[in-house]
């Protein structure tokens, strides 16, 4: 694993998150519309030095099991944000032996952080904040 590359990716993701969700300390959720897709960022936990967010990606026409759900932890003291959990709820390891029972790629953590980087960049360039209020269970 290239630790320098991963750190640079996590630092860039932190900056992107601050641009997209500047009031994360007071607000609990931010929604973005990207065509027919919906990206929902929800604050799960706030601590003195960290904030944990859930990022859900929903697309019309995709089966529910293909919707993305990632947990990102923002480390405020080092200005980094990294993916810490996947949809399954299992903690994401730094490296995986291959093959493995869950069929994770050896560099799964880097790949997931790259995906978040691309998603956040797309939100910054093309998404619109969705102010729609949803009832519980709508999404």
Q: For the segment 18-31, what is each residue's pLDDT rounded down to a tens digit? A: 999 999 999 999 99
Alpha helices, DSSP H only, in 21-138?
108-126
pTM value is 0.80
CB distance 81 to 119 below 8 Å: no
- Answer yes or no: is pLDDT of 138 > 70: no
Find the mean pLDDT for residues 94-102: 64
How large is the angle between the packed helices 108-126 and 3-20, nearest 10 degrees? 30
How far is residue 47's CA from residue 33's CA, in Å, rounded to a whole number?
Answer: 28
Which of these ranges, 32-36, 84-88, 92-96, 128-132, has the smallest mean pLDDT?
92-96
pLDDT interval class at 135 (50, 70, 90): very low
The number of beta carbons lying within 10 Å of the beta carbon of residue 52 is 17
pLDDT interval class at 134 (50, 70, 90): very low
CB distance 73 to 80 below 8 Å: no
- Assigned CATH for 3-129: 3.30.1300
Give the highest mean pLDDT range of 61-70, 76-85, 88-97. Answer: 76-85
How far is residue 56's CA from residue 21's CA, in Å, rounded to a whole number?
Answer: 14
């Amino acid at each position: 694993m290239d630790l320098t590359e991963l750190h640079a990716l996590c630092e860039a993701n932190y900056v992107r998150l601050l641009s997209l969700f500047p009031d994360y300390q007071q607000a609990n959720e931010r929604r973005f519309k990207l065509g027919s897709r919906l990206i929902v960022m929800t604050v799960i936990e706030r601590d003195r030095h960290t904030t944990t967010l859930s990022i859900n990606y929903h697309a019309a026409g995709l089966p529910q099991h293909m919707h993305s759900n990632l947990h990102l932890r923002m480390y405020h003291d080092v200005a980094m944000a990294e993916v810490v959990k996947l949809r399954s709820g299992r903690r994401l390891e730094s490296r995986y032996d291959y093959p493995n029972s869950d069929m994770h790629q050896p560099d799964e953590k880097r790949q997931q952080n790259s995906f978040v980087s691309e998603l956040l960049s797309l939100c910054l360039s093309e998404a619109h904040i969705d102010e729609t209020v949803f009832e519980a269970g709508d999404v």
